[in-house]
Structure 1
Amino acid sequence: MYVGIDVGGTNLKAGLVDEAGRLLATRKIPLGPFQGKEYFVRRLAELTAQVSRDGGVAPGDLEYVGMGIPGAVAEGNILYTCNIPLANVPIERLFSQYLDVPVLLENDANCAAVGEYFCGAGRGTKNFAVVTLGTGIGGGFILGGKLYAASGMSGEVGHMVVERNGAVCNCGRRGCWETYASATGLIRMTKETMEGNRESLLWEESKGGTAVSGRTAFAAALRGDAAAKALCETYVDYLAAGIVNLLNILQPEVLAIGGGVSEAEDELLLTPLREIVDRESYAAHCGGKATVVKAELGNDAGIIGAALLKRAI
């Protein structure tokens, strides 16, 4: 038995997972205001113990705990995270103060790639990629059946620039892909569009601007709102810019898109995205065709992948 933990910018999610990748129990708690690394690690240990017992397993009987971290990791340490104030945190050592269970750390999007590879959209492939659209943008790559994880800092695809001198990213650069194609970026662009279109249905869909989300633009576009439709097209253009870059570099058999934004209706997201990919990717000029799909495991991908990390390394 294994526990997989997915550390997000908003929530901490954990699951008890068996050898076949089946989720036997899950828990989710809010990350809440950051109160220091010791408090953060204690919460992770408490969450591990709770979800283990939910599944009828003593925490000490776990094979290991796998953790997906939204940033760079190495040798049991969190090196840096962009959207949570974590840097140089010896998480494995701190965790051992609470539970005597081995800990494996990996980037959260890498964990999602592992989960989808073994149990979701990547089954049967040899070279596979995942892009997660959430608070930021993460990427994970399975190459030759193994996770590509160079020095704990691979897969930071959200920080390639797609708009030179564009909006400032949390990493300090301007125009990073995640400032335009993450859920956070889409929310920012939605608010900007609303300010210039006071009669748009975007206002109604967001309860007068008080509840703007990554779904707001798509919901209004489905109702025929012109400003929302134009915004969705702009968003897909930005999303496609990064997707095509990745396909050209890696040439995976399948690239899966996960995260909350990926749940948007196909007619507004996946269909136009595939049209751009088929037109612009290098493989399209050579008689090939990249397969872009939605991830299959939803919010469970990172949990399952974290739990199955040892298989992919």
Structure 2
Amino acid sequence: MYYIGVDIGGTGVQAGIVDEYGKVVLKKECRTNVEAGFESIMDDIENLVNSLLLDKNISTKDIKSIGFGVPSFINNEGLISCVNLGWNEVNFIKSIKGRFEDIEVFAENDAKAATLAEAKFGSMKNKKIGVMYTLGTGVGGGIVINENIFIGANNMGGAIGHTIIGENYYDCNCGNNGCLETFCSATAIIKHATKLIQEGRKSLILENANNDINNINAKIVFEAFKENDEVAIETINRFKLYLAKSIASIINTLDPDVISIGGGVSRSSDIILDGLDELVKQHLLYKNENFADIVCASLGADAGIIGAAFLN
């Protein structure tokens, strides 16, 4: 038997057929046609899944279930609101079940789906309690206990990116101030480096961005860090400090076996992980005891597909 996982993003939809060992045996993608509306996107997803079945020369009888990772919170009624997709309380579950009536269908937040993948087949495999941070444009994540996603009483559990970690100079998109996302995302890195440069600090960052402050991205900041640029060092050290505080809070609360760091920002894992254990230790309650291993996620871009495939 096979599984199908679908990872829905703001710009593209990736879908794959996954075997029982978590290997993606066939993968396809299409553009997320946000302008066309919800039902049009659902039609595109249906066509994408059917195309996978056709190319693999299998039928729905060969598929145990289809899982969907969506970039939003799904409430207990199956309703989703997602600004990036233009969805306002759309009934995702009802719509998708209507298209795949003879297959079990599941859906969950995309970061939680990726967390499940890492727990079953990746960096958190064979661990009792694992916590994942996905550091990208924003900050997502999830908690797994015995390979089961922790969702909470109202399906809102595990929103790590919106834990309040300190006071910041700008508000989060959610409306709160101090969310981890405003300290430890690629967006946060760009904002802070830009702020320092606008305050008159000299930096290689601007030069490497072709002297256009709008061209600054997180990769440029990390590269400047390696060249001992003062603005980059201050920006990345600030990022690591708040990441360490968040990880310490998670450890003090859950005492997990492992913390896994994924997402686009984790491509600079050599910088992020360097000295991170010691920073975390400074904020732990029990400083002389063993604590969670801090590692990088191992499944890369396929984590969303794999995790979605194994939702239940």
Instruction: Specify if TM > 0.5.
Output: yes
1:127 matches 2:146: no
Aligned to 2:307: 305
Partner deviation per Cα, 1:200-226 (whole Å, 9 max, x = no partner): 211233333353322121011112212
Aligned to 2:233: 229
Aligned to 2:29: 28
Q: 1:52 to 1:169 in 2, by over 3 A?
A: farther
> How far is 1:98 from its partner?
4.0
Aligned to 2:45: 44
Q: Is the 8 A contact 1:41 1:95 kept in 2?
A: yes
SS at match of 2:234: helix
1:272 matches 2:275: yes
1:177 matches 2:180: yes
Q: Is the 8 A contact 1:34 1:40 kept in 2?
A: no
Which segments of 5 or more consecutive residues in structure 2 lack a partner in the other structure?
none
> How far is 1:27 from its partner?
2.4
Partner deviation per Cα, 1:221-254 (whole Å, 9 max, x = no partner): 1122121111111111122222221121111100
CA distance in 1, matches of 2:244, 2:10: 24
Q: Is the 8 A contact 1:109 1:140 kept in 2?
A: yes
> How far is 1:165 from its partner?
5.8
1:114 matches 2:143: no
Aligned to 2:170: 167
Q: Is the 8 A contact 2:269 2:296 kept in 1?
A: no
Q: 1:274 to 1:46 in 2, by over 3 A?
A: farther
Pick from 252, 260, 271: which aligns with 2:256? Answer: 252
1:153 matches 2:156: yes
* 1:51 maps to amino acid: L
Aligned to 2:221: 217
> How far is 1:103 from its partner?
1.8
1:207 matches 2:210: yes
Q: Is the 8 A contact 2:245 2:283 kept in 1?
A: no
CA distance in 1, matches of 2:247, 2:35: 32
> How far is 1:307 from its partner?
0.5
CA distance in 2, matches of 1:300, 1:203: 33
Q: Is the 8 A contact 1:71 1:78 kept in 2?
A: no
SS at match of 2:114: helix
- Count of residues paired in the alignment: 308
CA distance in 2, matches of 1:58, 1:95: 18
> How far is 1:264 from its partner?
0.4
> How far is 1:40 from its partner?
2.4
CA distance in 2, matches of 1:52, 1:301: 20
> How far is 1:258 from its partner?
0.6
* 2:42 maps to amino acid: V
- Deviates further, 229-238 or 145-154: 145-154
CA distance in 1, matches of 2:202, 2:158: 40
Aligned to 1:6: 7
1:142 matches 2:157: no
SS at match of 1:63: strand
* 2:293 maps to amino acid: T
Q: 1:153 to 1:35 in 2, by over 3 A?
A: farther
1:66 matches 2:63: no
SS at match of 1:235: helix
Aligned to 2:291: 289
> How far is 1:152 from its partner?
2.0
Partner deviation per Cα, 1:16-58 (whole Å, 9 max, x = no partner): 1011111111223343544422122222222322333343434
Q: Is the 8 A contact 2:79 2:93 kept in 1?
A: no
TM-score, structure 2 length as denominator? 0.89
CA distance in 2, matches of 1:293, 1:16: 27
Q: Is the 8 A contact 1:6 1:302 kept in 2?
A: yes
TM-score, structure 1 length as denominator? 0.89
Q: 1:93 to 1:50 in 2, by over 3 A?
A: same
